[in-house]
């Protein structure tokens, strides 16, 4: 299915040479052959590029009508006649690059909308666009080629690196961001963390949240996700970390590089993650935990204790995934035996 031109830019058609060069791929075919876009193995036409990552999709690959397919070397022989095999190490990642070639994202237009409010001492980098009714606070520093959408709030003193994108209704305060940070619509970064004590008379006393948020290069915060600023230390999301929509990150949380938190994950305060930790949807973390690098947490898991590097856990409370499934098998056998005993007693 072709991308709808009302919503997505288009930079095609593109030659086979251009496509292969973008992904470092090798091919055997007419270098000037032209392609108009991308598509799935099942739906792509002879003028479109598709991809096949794994042998389990080989039957779809053999039947594809695509004009070119990004494949690993092991699947090149499965590409049908008339279709060009573009051999590359990681076809799925390469396909993302090719799709972006045909449909590049919006570029800043180097202008400030007349309805935007920009503080007199704010520093706006060259090439940056600030959209309608956005507010840029006092002392804020926005890098070059940033794209600030409509109704965005950038708080006092906030620093954005070059090439950052803040989509509509996002807000950010008390934060320092490296280059290429993306806040999706409605994202909230830098607000107070959930910190309070109970006074002797039962009243809640809010503790001042005096830290910041640090977002590393290429961090993305999904729509309506929240990243609280630190209490006495900073909240830190490491380079390349990605938050899906509706994720909550509490105060003083620190992640390493390339962590992935899927929709509705909640991370309580002062939890520390290593590099490349991934957590499935609705997983929850108690506070003050240490999660080792490359740990994998299953969807809806409840993590209440530290995890070593490369742990794979599931369930509530979270336990090693093999143990959880063994326990489930035992429960199923016990349930089956119970039903069998009841039938015999009834007979």
Catalytic residues: 251
Q: What angle do CA 180, 107, 6 make, to 5 degrees?
A: 125
Q: Identify the three-state secondary structure at position 90.
A: coil
- Rounded to 10 deg, the angle between the 91-102 and 16-23 helix axes is 130
Q: Where are the beta strands (DSSP E) in 53-110?
A: 68-71, 84-87
Contact predicate 105/96, CB 8 Å = no
Rounded CA Rg of the chain: 25
Q: Between the CA of residue 95 and those of 13, 68, 101, 267, what are the distances in Å?
A: 16, 11, 10, 32
Query: Rounded CA gap, 14 and 29, in Å?
Result: 15
Query: Rounded CA gap, 186 and 171, in Å?
Result: 7
Residue 307 forms beta bridges with which residues?
A: 291
Burial code of 254-270, b = ≥16 C-beta within 10 A, e = fewer?
bbbbbbbbbbbbbbbbb
Q: What region, left, alpha or beta, does residue 204 occupy, with left being phi > 0 and alpha being psi -120 to 50 degrees?
A: beta
The rounded Cα 149 to chain-centroid distance in angstroms is: 19
Which is it for strands 117-118 and 188-189: parallel, antiparallel or unpaired? Answer: unpaired
- Identify which of 34, 36, 35, 40 has the alpha carbon closest to the alpha carbon of residue 1: 40
């Amino acid at each position: 299915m072709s991308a709808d031109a009302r919503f997505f830019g288009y930079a095609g058609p593109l030659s086979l040479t251009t496509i292969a060069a973008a992904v470092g791929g090798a091919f055997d075919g007419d270098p000037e052959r032209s392609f108009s876009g991308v598509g799935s193995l099942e739906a792509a036409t002879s003028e479109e590029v598709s991809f096949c990552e794994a042998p389990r999709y080989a039957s779809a690959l053999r039947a594809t009508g695509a004009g070119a397919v990004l494949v690993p070397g092991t699947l090149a022989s499965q590409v049908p006649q008339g279709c060009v095999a573009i051999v590359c190490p990681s076809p799925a990642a390469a396909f993302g690059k090719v799709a972006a070639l045909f449909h590049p994202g919006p570029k800043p237009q180097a202008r400030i909308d007349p309805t935007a409010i920009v503080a007199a001492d704010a520093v706006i980098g060259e090439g940056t666009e600030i959209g309608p009714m956005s507010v840029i606070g006092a002392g804020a520093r926005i890098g070059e080629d940033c794209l600030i959408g409509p109704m965005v709030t950038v708080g006092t003193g906030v620093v954005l690196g070059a090439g950052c994108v803040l989509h509509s209704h996002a807000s950010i305060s008390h934060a320092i961001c490296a280059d290429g940070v993306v806040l999706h619509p409605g994202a909230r970064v830098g607000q107070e963390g959930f910190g309070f004590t109970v006074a002797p008379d039962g009243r809640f006393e809010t503790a001042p949240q005096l830290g910041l948020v640090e977002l590393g290069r290429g961090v993305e915060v999904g729509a309506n996700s929240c990243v609280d600023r630190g209490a006495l230390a900073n909240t830190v999301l490491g380079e390349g970390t990605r938050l899906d929509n509706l994720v909550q990150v509490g105060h003083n949380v620190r992640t390493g590089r390339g962590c992935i938190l899927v929709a509705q994950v909640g991370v309580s305060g002062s939890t520390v993650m290593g590099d490349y930790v991934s957590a499935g949807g609705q997983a929850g973390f108690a506070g003050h935990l240490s999660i080792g690098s490359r740990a994998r947490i299953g969807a809806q898991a409840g993590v209440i204790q530290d995890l070593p590097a490369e742990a794979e856990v599931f369930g509530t409370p979270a336990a090693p995934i093999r143990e959880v499934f063994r326990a489930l098998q035992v429960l199923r056998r016990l349930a089956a035996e119970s039903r069998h005993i009841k039938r015999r007693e009834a007979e």
